[in-house]
Amino acid sequence: MPRQSGEALAGEGAEFAEWEQRLRAALAGSSEQQRELYLMELPPQLDELRKPEWLAALKPAAVLVPIVAREPEPTVLLTRRSELMRNHKGQIAFPGGRRDAADVSAVDNALREADEEIGLKREHVEIIGYLDDYPTGSLYRVTPVVGVVRELPELRLDAVEVAEAFEVPLSLLLDPSNYASKTFVRDGIELPFFEVRYGEYAIWGATAGMLRNLCRKVGGA
């Protein structure tokens, strides 16, 4: 069954230390200043999306990828968006959003959003690296900021934005066989996306794409 946020941690021991070492090694060299852009296999009709002028027009945003120090294995903390939201209602997402003028970095952006959406304060998060930036159809360039949460506090959800928070075993998300490659049609063009399922939750779209990139970096597949 999905683990709900707010449960006590089982304690951080040698097993989590091994997981953390793997994660840090996979993210070594990632930085705030320069990151690759993660583009799935786009159809030829969308080759223009690789052009520098299109990429330069993307608006900056960031999400927090919270790795929770559970035993015997860590989890990834995700949210389900509220049905009150105008866009992407009910979808599974990381805490995050567009960059505000006061945000001086992607880390500031991601941590501010995590605090606002689920009450996860920055003092509970240790940043360990970044995934490749992810472009979205809504014209954002999203920076996934990966952080370790050693002690998960009782979360305080913004009911307007977040319906619930839950955790998924990291091992499930690092198994490439759990990702289904699918397509949907927009304006007559087939667009690829990933989907991974956990219990009642279907994780797809940008969130699944970022998780698949984490899987690729850590597991090499």
In CATH terms, the superfamily for domain 3-33+56-171 is Nucleoside Triphosphate Pyrophosphohydrolase (3.90.79.10)
pLDDT in tens, the chain (221 residues): 444 443 434 444 568 999 999 999 999 999 998 788 776 656 555 666 667 787 888 999 999 999 999 988 999 999 999 876 666 667 999 999 999 999 999 999 999 999 999 999 999 999 999 999 998 878 899 999 999 999 999 999 998 999 999 999 999 999 999 999 888 776 676 778 899 999 999 999 999 999 999 999 998 66
Which pTM value belongs to this model?
Answer: 0.88
Position 9: which residue type?
L
DSSP β-ladder status, 3-4 and 59-68 = unpaired
